[in-house]
Structure 1
Amino acid sequence: MNSESPITRVIKMLDSRRKEVIMLFLFAIASASLDIAVPLISQHLIDTLISFLRGKAEQPFGLLFLSAAAIILATIVARVLRSMYDYRLFTMVTTLEDRIRTEIFEKYLTLHALFHNSSSSGQIIGRIERGASAVYAILNDIIGHNFLPPLIMFGIVFVTIAVKNIWIALVVFAPLVIYIFAARPLSEKIYQIERNANDRFEFVSKHAYDVAGNVLTVKKFSQELAETNFQRNLLKEAREVQYGAERLWMVLENIQTGISVAGRLGVILIAGFQVINGQTTIGELVLYLSLQQMAYSPMAQLSVIFPRLRRNTAKVERMFGILDEENKVFDRDDARVLPLHSKEVEFKDVWFEYRRKSWALKNISVKVPAGSVVALVGRSGSGKTTFINLLMRSFDPQKGKIFIDGHDLRDVTRESILNQTAVVPQEVDLFSRTILENIAYGNRGAKEEEDVMDAAKSALAHNFIVRTEYGYDTLVGERGIRLSGGERQRIGIARAVYRDPRILILDEATSHLDTESERLISAATESLMKNRTTFIIAHRLSTILKADTILVFENGRIEAMGPHRELLGSSPTYRKLYELQFKEART
């Protein structure tokens, strides 16, 4: 876990852009100097005009025109510099925002399966979006016109006034110290409130994503109004928390206004007395008032930037939490590419737990020859899915080892394992893309339509695909909503065929399909399994009677293994499952 503050980590992102930051700094100094040149020119012009009116100087027409030209030139050049500053700042900050957004999105995708199982995707995506936007806001506040340029202006104004009149400088800048001490505790309270508000808004996003992903279920149960009201109440609760921070922000703004007015009155009184006593000219009085206004502009910005930084810091902190999440499955520095599978898959004394002292798998030892078909049966929660996840190295066992052709999975790259593996899950996951893109998903290189069509034909999917609106270019909708369950399943099989894996994993899905779809999918599956090491998570025993080996799972252990007829006599669990399903079939 990174111990640095979120603000420090955001600022460190500028390390890769040092030249641009230095250039922006120079732009800001030049622009601020030109801005201050205007009241200095005005002061000289006013004092000269007053001397002329008193009869102590000649008509200053030359100075008048020269001053006007200088003020116009300084204003134009300062404006041009600020425009260049704004453009370069925007391009730099948006580039950094995009970089951190993609970096954290990549980290989210590469995190271990246990993280994804225990978190809400809607909540995490919302956290990334708000955090990346907060990075932009923080950098734009610090380097933009809310902090760095005003701070530079503040420094130049202080030096200018201090050189001319140290007492006026003290009157102008002493209130700033008071403001900082007053703002600090309030800013801390705002930060804590904003953290709470962020948690509330993340829950709002989580609920919205959940409802959007199950919108058809909402409609089936006529829950549109109920879900809308619940979302409205969640937003209301989150806003009530956020409004507490806004009220403290209002207090800060009023403190800033009071200090600004006090400083201005101090300048008027002290400079006024000095004018009366002949210690200061009227031009200098006007100069001090102008510079005081320029000096308090940064203070006005501070009343805005501090609470906003606190608010955005809370969002960034949540986002960095994803980046700091420990990845429990990673490739070793010396990890090798797994050679093409041709011998056997072995689990050797494997133990795995999701939570401490709660073993999901216990002492699993089994060898599977290449090209054989292995069925996994057992009650829900008996360890079948965990076994498959370990084979795919979604996570590593706490004890024991898993080998493919004698290679420990920890010693080879995870990508090389998955490149030889294809999965047809019980519910096929489809993207809101074309049928062609979904079948070819996960395969590098150009997508050859002819090869995709061959895979679809092998999966008995080609006929229904060509009948869709745009054939292979038809969009399937979110999660494949425009396709039936059987069609989605055949797309999943076609994807596996196109991948041409050495190891095939099937999570049987025929139990909830109509008879025709089940027949087509069974035929496509049998073709897919040929000459591949196949693992089937079986829910219906009729589909795995021809398996070479059946593993019977019970409470995280392999109770028995062998062919169907042998297990009927040796495994109570298998015999009970078989009798229950046989009884249901007869009924």
Structure 2
Amino acid sequence: MSRQSPVIRILALLKTKKKEAAILLGLVIAAAAFDISVPFISQRLIDTLIDFFRTGGQAPVVMLLLAAAGILFATVLNRIMKSVYDYRLFLAVTKIEDGVRFKAFGKYLDLHALFHHGSSSGQIIGRIERGATSVFVVLFDILGQNLIPPLIIFTGVFASLLFKNPWIALTVLLPFPVYILIVRVLSRKIYEVEKIVNEEFENLSKESYDVASNVLTVKKFSQEQTETKHQIGLMAHAREIQYKGERLWAVIENTQTLVSTVGRITVILLGGWFVLEGRSTIGEFVLYITLQNMAYAPLWQLSIIFPRLRRNISRAERLFALMDEEPKVTDKPDAVELAPLKNALEFKDVHFRYAPGKSWAVRGVNLVVPAHTTVALVGRSGSGKTTFVNLLLRSYDPNRGAILIDGTDLRDVTQESLRRQIAVVPQEVDLFSRSIAENIAYGRPGTRQPEIVRAAKIALADGFISRTDKGYDTLVGERGLKLSGGERQRIGIARAVLRDPRILILDEATSHLDTESEKLIQRATAALMKDRTTFIIAHRLSTIVNADLILVFDHGRIEAAGTHRELLKKSPTYERLHSLQFEEPEEIPVTPRRTKKKLELAVPVA
């Protein structure tokens, strides 16, 4: 993880906009020059008018007109420069913001399965959105009219005062070290508070997303008020911490007011003394006060933007922490395209565990699966079946051993070329809030409608799709909630059909269908499995009795392998699973309710 300051990292994003940065710098310097010129024109005009009233003579009409024209010219050009600067800055910063957002989202998608299993998607998406927006705010505050332009003006003002009167210049500068010291001390405390605040608001986003994702469950259990109170409690806790930071900022604002007031009074006293001593004119006295006000403007700007800057820098830092996450599974620089499976898939002494010191999730797996073989995986929950499949998908890499396709180690090929050969029909099919057609074609973007319809027919999904109002253009709702479990399952099967994989993974794909549809789907999947290497994670042994090979998993290892008949004879674990599923269910005695009231039928009897 990078230890570089988040501010430095944000400013480093400007490297991609060097030409634009040079133009912006030129614009802001020119605007500052026109801004500073106005007090000098005013000073010259005031001194000329005072001389006229003292000495008499011809009225300085020309001087008045020239001064007015000069002030108008400088003001108009200043506004034009600032407007162009703001517009070009907005364009540049929004492009940087979008680039950061898409890069962070891409990193989120690229991160390993363990990261996704251990984090909340709502929390991470909230972090990305807030972080990208914070990058925009920080850049726009620093480079916009809130920091860099005022600081450039301050530099110009200080240089002008040094030229006109070094004593006044030093007087203007004197309060700044005190202010900076106080801000530096308090800012560190505020930064720590803001980090906690951001964590609390991320937790709030996670909880809100969790409730929104399970809103139907909330309603089923009548927990609307409970969840609302929980959200209010989380928000109140986050706000309490946030208010602590705001109180610290109030100290900074009051310090800023005190410093600028002391500075103004000092300049007035010293400048007035120079006038009384005849060492400065009235016009120069007005110039000192005007330039001093311009010099202290950045103080006011800092009191406005510092709370926002600190808050957003903290958010950006959390975004950078996400972007610094290293994926556990990556393509080698010399990774090659995986050729289509022809001969066999092999596991060679494969060991895998989810973290150092943990027990092996898969251990000592040695297996050769010839192409076009149907392999079923059985075992108790947590026995290693899902991990075995995830290793094949290269969601993880083995800690020891290797997985080979036609003799090629999966770590030597690109992940995209590997997964292009695999289709998965999970037990719970995940759908996007898009049309049915888009969901079916998700694995093959750009697929034409006739191919989508054909895949749906094979999956026995065309019937219910055609009965919807908009057919294949019907939106399925968030996570497919508008569809029944069986309908979502059939769309998942259609998606696999369309992908036309060499390797098929079925996680008990028919488990959510009614009996009639199940038998039809089993015939459809049998056609899909033909000439493909298929792995079935079995929850019901009745669905895999005809598999070419059945693997019995126990505590991460393959306890036994063989056909259904062979395993009934040689595998105690398989025989026990078989007995549990096929033995006669125990009858549960039902005690009739004793009541003196006679029960009445709700339906009238003819």
- Scaled to the shorter chain, the TM-score interval is over 0.9
Using the alignment, how far apart are the partners of 1:489 and 1:341 within structure 2? 27
Whether 2:219 is the aligned partner of 1:219: answer yes
Q: Does the CA contact (< 8 Å) of 2:489 and 2:510 recur in 1?
A: no
Aligned amino acid, residue 55 of structure 2: G
- 1:412: which partner in 2? 413
Show the counterpart of 1:111: 111
The Cα shift of 1:174 comes to: 1.1
Q: Aligned partners of 2:517, 2:169: CA distance in 1, in Å?
A: 85
Describe how 1:400-479 pairs up with structure 2 within 5 A. 400-444=401-445, 446-479=446-479
Aligned equivalents of 2:572, 2:483: Cα separation in 1: 40
Distance between the aligned counterparts of 2:47 and 2:447, measured in 1? 79
TM-score for both structures, normalised by structure 1? 0.98
Please report the TM-score for the alignment, with normalisation by the length of structure 2.
0.95
Following superposition, the deviation at residue 523 of structure 1 comes to 2.6
Mapped to 2, the partners of 1:564 and 1:585 lie a distance apart of 22
Q: 2-side partners of 1:463 and 1:143: how far apart?
A: 59
Unaligned runs of 5+ residues in structure 2 are 588-606
Letter in 2 for 1:55: T
Report the CA distance shift for 1:455/1:585 in structure 2 as closer, same or farther (over 3 A).
farther
Cα separation, 2, equivalents of 1:268 and 1:315: 43
- Shift of the 234–88 alpha-carbon distance from structure 1 to 2, 3 Å rule, reads same
Q: Return the alpha-carbon distance in structure 2 between the equivalents of residues 575 and 162 of structure 1.
A: 95
1:172, 1:44 → 2: CA distance?
22
Alignment partners' CA distance in 2, 1:109 and 1:296: 47
Distance in 2 of aligned mates of 1:464 and 1:196: 50
Query: 1:421-445 deviations in whole A, cap 9, x for unaligned?
Result: 000000001000001100000214x
- 1:361 maps to 2:362: yes
Asked if the contact 1:370/1:532 (under 8 Å) is kept, the reply is yes
Q: Is residue 83 of structure 2 the alignment partner of residue 83 of structure 1? A: yes
Mapped to 2, the partners of 1:449 and 1:65 lie a distance apart of 75
CA distance in 2, matches of 1:278, 1:316: 55
Aligned-pair distance for 1:514? 2.5
Aligned letter for 1:47? Answer: D
1:19 is displaced (CA, Å) by 1.1
Match of 1:378 in 2: 379
In 2, the alpha carbon distance for the partners of 1:584 and 1:310 equals 68
Letter in 2 for 1:273: W
2:332 matched to 1:332? Answer: yes
What is the number of equivalent residue pairs in this alignment? 586
Tell me how far 1:57 sits from its aligned partner. 5.2
- 1:120 paired residue number: 120
2:427 touches 2:511 (CA, 8 Å); kept in 1? no
Residue number in structure 1 paired with 2:39: 39
Measure the CA separation in 1 of the matches of 2:53 and 2:517.
102
Counterpart position of 2:180: 180
Cα shift at 1:521: 2.6
Q: Distance in 2 between matches of 1:364 and 1:94?
A: 51
Kindly state the Cα deviation for residue 306 of structure 1 after the two structures are TM-superposed. 2.9
1:144 aligned to 2:111? no
Deviates more, 1:492-501 or 1:295-304: 295-304
| Aligned residue number for residue 72 of structure 1 | 72
Amino acid at match of 1:428: V
1:15 counterpart residue number = 15
Tell me how far 1:78 sits from its aligned partner: 0.6
Report the RMSD for the aligned CA atoms in angstroms: 1.1
The Cα shift of 1:511 comes to 3.5
Q: Which consecutive residues of structure 1, in runs of 5 or more, have no partner in the other structure?
A: none
Contact 1:486 1:521 (C-alpha < 8 Å) held by counterparts:
no
- Whole-Å separation in 1 of the counterparts to 2:448 and 2:543: 33
Return the alpha-carbon distance in structure 1 between the equivalents of residues 263 and 356 of structure 2.
63
**1:241 maps onto 2:230 in alignment:** no
SS at match of 1:359: coil
Give the Cα separation in 1 of the matches to 2:329 and 2:494: 29
Alpha-carbon deviations, 1:13-32, whole Å to 9, x = none? Answer: 00111111111111111111
SS of 1:510's equivalent?
A: coil
CA distance, structure 2, for counterparts of residue 214 and residue 315 of structure 1: 27
* CA distance in structure 1 between the partners assigned to 2:483 and 2:431 by the alignment: 10
- Displacement of 1:56 after TM fit? 5.5
| CA distance in structure 2 between the aligned counterparts of 1:82 and 1:314, rounded to whole angstroms | 29
Relative distance call for 1:57 and 1:269 in structure 2 (3 A) is: farther
8 Å Cα contact 2:350-2:398 kept in structure 1 = yes
Cα distance in 1, alignment partners of residues 458 and 418 from structure 2:
24
Cα deviation for residue 447 of structure 1 reads 2.1
2: CA distance between counterparts of 1:355 and 1:339? Answer: 32
Distance between the aligned counterparts of 2:304 and 2:186, measured in 1? Answer: 13
Deviations 1:227-248 (A, max 9, x none): 1110111011111111111111
1:199 aligns to what? 199
- Provide the C-alpha distance between the structure 1 equivalents of 2:146 and 2:316, rounded to a whole number of angstroms: 19
Structure-2 separation of matches of 1:75 and 1:500: 69
Query: 1:303: how far off?
Result: 2.2
| 8 A contact 1:51–1:57 mirrored in 2 | no
CA contact (8 A) 1:476 1:482 kept: yes
Relative to structure 1, is the Cα distance of residues 454 and 126 closer, same or farther in structure 2, using a 3 angstrom cutoff?
A: same
Residue 468 of structure 2 aligns to a residue whose secondary structure is coil
Are 1:48 and 1:57, in contact at CA under 8 Å, matched by a contact in 2? no
2:382 corresponds to which letter in structure 1? G
CA contact (8 A) 2:489 2:512 kept: no
- Contact kept, 8 Å, 1:188 with 1:310, in 2: the verdict is no
More moved, 102-111 vs 522-531: 522-531
Q: Mapping of 1:240-389 within 5 angstroms?
A: 240-357=240-357, 358-389=359-390
Aligned to 1:555: 555
| Partner Cα distance (2:248, 2:145) in 1 | 23
2:600 aligns with none
How far did 1:572 drift?
Answer: 0.8
Residue 69 of structure 1 and its aligned partner are, at CA, apart by: 1.0
Partner of 2:131: 131
1:134 and 1:316 in contact (8 A); partners too: yes
- Work out the CA distance in 1 between the residues paired with 2:336 and 2:206: 39
Distance in 1 (alpha carbons) for counterparts of 2:74 and 2:573: 89
Give the counterpart letter for 2:130 in structure 1: R
